[in-house]
Amino acid sequence: MLLTIADLFARFHPILVHFPVGILVLAAGFIWLTNGDKYAQLKPAIQIMLFWGMLSALFSCSSGWLLAASGDYEGDLVDQHRWMGIATAVASGILWWLVRRQPASVVSDASSQPKYWRRGVSAAVLALVTVTGHMGGSLTHGEDYLQEALQAGAGKGPVIAKLENPDTAVLYNGLVQPILEARCYSCHGENKQKGKLRLDDIRYMLKGGEDGVALAPGKPEESGLVGRIQLPIDNKDHMPPREKTQLTADEIKILHWWVATGGSDTARIGHLQQTAEVKALLVRLATGATDAEAGSNSNLPSPEPPAADTAALNALQRAGVTAIPVAQGSNWLTLSFVGAFEKNEVTLALLAPVAKQVLNLRLDHYPLTPKGMDILSACTDIQRLELPYCKLTDALLQKLGAFSKLQSLNLTGNPVTAAGVKNLQSLKALQQLYLYQTGLAGADMRVLQEQWPAVKIDSGGYRLPMLPGDTSEVKVN
């Protein structure tokens, strides 16, 4: 019971801490203001304010100490904030004693006590309150909370504007860690662990927090890190919080790709399997082009469709579907149903009102039925379609013939056969076809490639070459 009461008291720290801040700042201001005779009538109030300021500072220190022990905060900044808070409480006590020791009969007589003592200590109290408050703000809102406020409205660009020679860079060090540091460490780093979750080390990601693991290697759909950033921004579980700078579309793709390829902190980008979307992203990074600039070129279909209905977009977001423009100022949309709360025909039907605007569509692990395929067929201008592990059969594949503008198709993990895939040769615009973990054998892949030379067929099953820096362990029994 005592632990429960202590925990409750600790959670009152953000409320309690504002009392000493306001009272001590006001009392110190009164000390400086009453050095002359004009405001001498305010002097009797100083001792009262300092007493309650000192008392509330002690309560704040106690609750803050208990809150730091809860496990949500640790690191050097917490220790510094703790001792600065104690120093503030001690300084306010000294200042109260200096004012109190002056006889009440001469409380308005500044000559009864050297002015510089009270003024000096009051200046120290103001400085301590300011520094301690700033540290508390850094713990609560992140160490860049002042910069965030100054840059509000202007917005922030991508964390990584350009990455030279991306193929030779380590994915985690070169791309993932900088994104996490800029967007996540302020709440889930060394000093603060909201929800008892740290993201500044892969070990902590694997361990997870109160809401489960942040990183499930190879399983983006089971990784809280990926799931939270793909939620609608008005969802209470969306990360980062809506008042923080949000991840760009490319940054979300990078984190999803990193988790999907195993969440390694040593693998080099050039050694990892890359979808067409990822390859395009890496080209943009190598040239320094943004995702918006890349999407605003002549490759976009023309004419541009009308803007999507706002109510339809809101309905998709409420269902957990991510809908973003393919380029800044464009009405074409990229839709991802990866984070959908319910993966059924009812949710899929929500894309019907925006079917004419859909250019890219992602439906990982979405069980498709004939009715679901009929819903998809309304997206007549679609160029990229991701359907991994959607339980597609040869019969359902025939319905893809309606996508005459389709350029990239991902059928990974579906029980389709060579006979079913051959029916897709009517898709004259197709450039990439992903058939990893399907019902096609190696011989089937070779025959398809011969019959379909203009299409890049990706069958997976990669083997990475040994590099000079790689090591192997040989055990002898």
Summarised one tens digit per residue, pLDDT across range 440-473 is: 888 888 898 888 888 888 876 544 444 444 444 4
- Does the pLDDT at position 331 exceed 60? yes
pLDDT band for position 7 (cuts 50, 70, 90): low
What is the pLDDT at residue 468? Answer: 44
SS3 content of the chain, % helix, strand, coil (to 5): 50, 5, 40
How confident is the model over 101-121, as a mean pLDDT?
Answer: 56
SS3 410: strand
Smallest CA-to-CA distance from 129 within 80, 89, 78, 99 is with 89
pLDDT band for position 10 (cuts 50, 70, 90): low
44-53, 333-342, 389-398: range with lowest mean pLDDT: 44-53
Smallest CA-to-CA distance from 357 within 300, 294, 428, 299 is with 300
Who contacts 413 (Cβ-Cβ below 8 Å, separation ≥6)? 388, 389, 436, 437, 438
Backbone angles phi, psi at 63, to 5 degrees: -65, -35
Helix axes 18-33, 115-141, angle to 10 degrees: 150
Q: Please, what is the average pLDDT of the chain?
A: 80
Query: What is the tens place of the pLDDT at every residue in 294-312?
Result: 444 445 787 889 999 999 9
- Does the pLDDT at position 344 exceed 80? yes
Alpha helices in 184-275 (DSSP H): 185-188, 202-207, 224-229, 249-260
What is the pLDDT at residue 135? Answer: 77
Domains recognised in the chain with CATH numbers: 2-141 (1.20.120), 166-292 (no CATH), 295-458 (3.80.10.10)
Can you tell me the distance from the alpha carbon of 384 to that of 432, in angstroms, rounded to the nearest whole number?
Answer: 9
Highest mean pLDDT among 52-61, 99-108, 132-141, 379-388: 379-388
- Does the pLDDT at position 370 exceed 80? yes
Who contacts 24 (Cβ-Cβ below 8 Å, separation ≥6)? 49, 50, 53, 57, 88, 92, 125, 126, 129
How confident is the model over 98-112, as a mean pLDDT?
Answer: 54
- Does the pLDDT at position 19 exceed 80? no
pLDDT band for position 345 (cuts 50, 70, 90): very high
DSSP labels, 321-381: -EEEESSTT---EEEE-TT-SS-SHHHHGGGGGGGGGEEEEE-TT----HHHHHHHTT-TT
What is the pLDDT at residue 85? Answer: 83
> Token pair of 337, please?
């149903």
What is the pLDDT at residue 94? Answer: 86
Cα–Cα distances in Å, from 371 out to 339, 344, 355, 360, 377? 21, 10, 15, 20, 10
Can you tell me the distance from the alpha carbon of 245 to that of 239, in angstroms, rounded to the nearest whole number?
Answer: 10
Farthest-apart Cα atoms in the chain, separation: 105
What is the pLDDT at residue 439? Answer: 85
How confident is the model over 51-62, as a mean pLDDT?
Answer: 82
Query: What is the tens place of the pLDDT at every residue in 193-242?
Result: 788 888 989 999 999 888 888 999 999 989 999 988 888 776 778 888 87
pLDDT band for position 114 (cuts 50, 70, 90): low
| 0.75 exceeded by pTM | no
Report the percentage of the chain scoring pLDDT > 70.
Answer: 80
What is the pLDDT at residue 217? Answer: 94
Can you tell me the distance from the alpha carbon of 135 to that of 447, in angstroms, rounded to the nearest whole number?
Answer: 65
Looking at per-residue confidence, does 287 or 111 come out higher? 287
Backbone angles phi, psi at 328, to 5 degrees: -60, 125
